[in-house]
Chain A
Amino acid sequence: MNRAAARRRRSHFMVGLMGLAVVLAVLPLLLILGTLVAKGASSLNLAFFTKMPVPAGETGGGVMHAIVGTLMIVGTACLIGLPLGIGGGIYCAEYPGSKLATVTRFVSDVLNGTPSIVVGVFAWTWIVATQKHFSAFAGSVALAILMVPMVTRTTEEMIKLVPHSLREAALALGYSRWRTSLTVVVRTTLPGIVTGSLLAVARVAGETAPLLFTALGSQYLSFDLDQPMAALPLVVFTYATGPYEEWHQLAWATALVLILVVLVLSVAARLATRGKFRQNG
């Protein structure tokens, strides 16, 4: 047996090992999806999306209140969190050496690693406890706090990828510094920023812990941010830990919807990065 053959065999072996690692990494995702589809898909129908929950013991009903609630809570969180996160990211990338940027970067990293329940308690202390009632707005603030560091870091990383030559081109044309940042640099990175933002949204849309202390959950359809509000993760939590079989069914279906929402957002993020204009070289 010659050396080339031995090398080839070793190569095949290593490639095989890596393939196995990939399969093992993807397996949990497939199992989760499979279980959710198997247990939840049967309860998914139009009524599930358009009807309100029914009293325990009855079959049927839906989680429309939670879908609306999640949209409102996460939407408000985006309104608060995305401008802060994107603005912070732009600052950190454009003034990388400044003290403020260094501090922001460090704080973002720490916040990124902070368990979400801590953020929930924080929002409870500062908003729920002072207002003396639970509110969807407090939930939005908690989710926004979770989004900001994620968006800041991804925005910064994306902006750092913009070639220096592009910045020089804009400055040489007589753009002021802020104009260069906003019109040329940010515009070039827009697909990346959108991706980072969508991923952050997907991440917080499934957060349960911070909402337990803040939005609390509700059985009713509500559009009032100042009141407790239902949300998909809260419904999963309530129904899954409840004593009724119908509830368990609904919990599975709700979990399936939740993961589909995250999936759709992730795919949208992927599509957004396929920008029409790309810088080559």
Chain B
Amino acid sequence: MTATLPGRTAMPHASSLKPTLAARGAPATRGPGGEPVVEAREFRFSYGPTEVLKGISLGVARNAVTAIIGPSGCGKSTFLRAINRMHELLPDVRHGGDLLLDGQSIYAPGRDLVDLRRRIGMVFQRPNPFPKSIFDNVAYGPTVNRLALKRDLPELVERCLRQAALWDEVKDRLHEPGTGLSGGQQQRLCIARALANSPEVLLMDEPCSALDPIATQKVEELIFALKEHYTIAIVTHNMQQAARVSDFTGFFDSGELIEFGDTDQLFTAPAHERTEAYITGRFG
């Protein structure tokens, strides 16, 4: 499997980039699926005066799991959240460079945020089901985004809950509150809720950090199964998890992408000294 192809690939929309960037030739990374679904080009991000991301260039390959690892504060969550513009609620944030979804700038002026977030689903660190019934939790996204007719909802909800490997556990209590489930079930409910929007990309921000080992295993199996239909980017603190579920891994440190490549290769033969130090537990 080819991991990363360094160097520039011809992009039809390159003219839309800032000239400096295009001239410098922002490295585009390609996975086996051809064009990356999400691509960062020299992406920078600051909270106030603090620059958290210092020029990240990375491609998230289609129908694969891309893991982002790195020590606390390295900017990996910031990067993930920048992909569906979740920072928008915070004051005084700035970005530079570009992030592309299917070749279109995510930060383009006039970009429809609702549509963007419909196409890029997100699962958070702590399970956060709405205080509504299990059914409504899953049905709300498609209802709001008018993706399904009311009479098709039961079928859609069942399909998403099955995909999230939760159906058998909740099929008899779909109208009970989602907040009454266990932590692991809640997280799978949140995944089902995200899937109901038929996203192209699923962002997962440490989805297992609040779960026990058994629930973690279930969610990991789920992630592995989901990549058949979805493109997944996952941030994790747990290196074994990255090694188990991902196809590609990026190692972030202090806001920079130190190394990015095939997961097996990165974990067995890291090219960079800092990567090796981190994955062998010498820091972080």
Contact = CB atoms under 8 A, between A and B. Distances in A.
A169 B128 contact: yes
A130 interface: no
Contacts of B86: 168, 171-172
Nearest to B91: A97
Interface residues of A, number: 26
B115 A174 contact: yes
Contact of B117 (A172, A188, A280, A281): A172
Contacts, number: 76
A126 interface: no
A174 B126 CA distance: 19
A93 to B, nearest CB: 13
A267 interface: no
Contact of B179 (A171, A174, A179, A277): A277
A179 B115 CA distance: 14
A163 interface: yes
B121 A172 contact: yes
A163 B128 contact: yes
A184 B131 CA distance: 8
Interface in B190-214: 190, 193-194, 197
A176 B116 CA distance: 11
Nearest to B177: A277
A279 interface: yes
A278 interface: yes
B181 to A, nearest CB: 10
A277 to B, nearest CB: 4
A173 B179 contact: no
B145 interface: yes
B91 A174 contact: no
Contact of B140 (A173, A275, A278, A280): A173
Given A171-B117, A172-B86, A281 B126 contact: yes
B117 to A, nearest CB: 4
A173 B131 contact: no
Contact of A175 (B89, B114, B121, B122): B114
B128 A173 contact: no
B131 A174 contact: no
B54 interface: no
A133 interface: no
B132 interface: yes
Interface string B68-104: 0000000000000000101011010000000000000
Nearest to B183: A281
A174 B130 contact: no
Nearest to B141: A173
A168 B128 contact: yes
Contacts of A279: 131, 179
Interface string A146-180: 00000000000000000101111111111110010
B190 A169 contact: yes
Contacts of B129: 169
B144 interface: yes
B124 interface: yes
B117 A173 contact: yes
Given A166-B130, A169-B128, A281-B126, A174 B177 contact: no
Interface string A254-281: 0000000000000000000001111111
Given A277-B179, A280-B179, A174 B132 contact: no
A117 B53 CA distance: 59
A35 B179 CA distance: 47
A176 B114 contact: yes
A167 B116 CA distance: 17
B121, B122, B128, B144: residue with the most chain A Cβ atoms closer than 10 Å: B128
Nearest to B117: A174
Contacts of A276: 177
A174 B141 contact: yes
Given A165-B128, A166-B130, A175 B144 contact: yes
A163, A171, A172, A281: residue with the most chain B Cβ atoms closer than 10 Å: A172
Contacts of A184: 130
Interface string B111-154: 00111111001101010111110000000110011000000000
A195 B139 CA distance: 29
Nearest to B140: A173
Closest 9 CB pairs of A and B: A172-B122, A174-B118, A277-B131, A165-B128, A173-B141, A174-B117, A169-B128, A277-B177, A174-B114
Interface of B: 84, 86, 88-89, 91, 113-118, 121-122, 124, 126, 128-132, 140-141, 144-145, 177, 179, 190, 193-194, 197
27 contacts: A97-B91, A166-B128, A166-B130, A166-B131, A168-B89, A168-B128, A169-B130, A170-B130, A171-B89, A172-B86, A172-B117, A172-B194, A173-B121, A173-B141, A173-B197, A174-B117, A174-B118, A174-B141, A174-B144, A174-B145, A174-B197, A176-B114, A183-B144, A187-B131, A188-B130, A277-B179, A279-B131
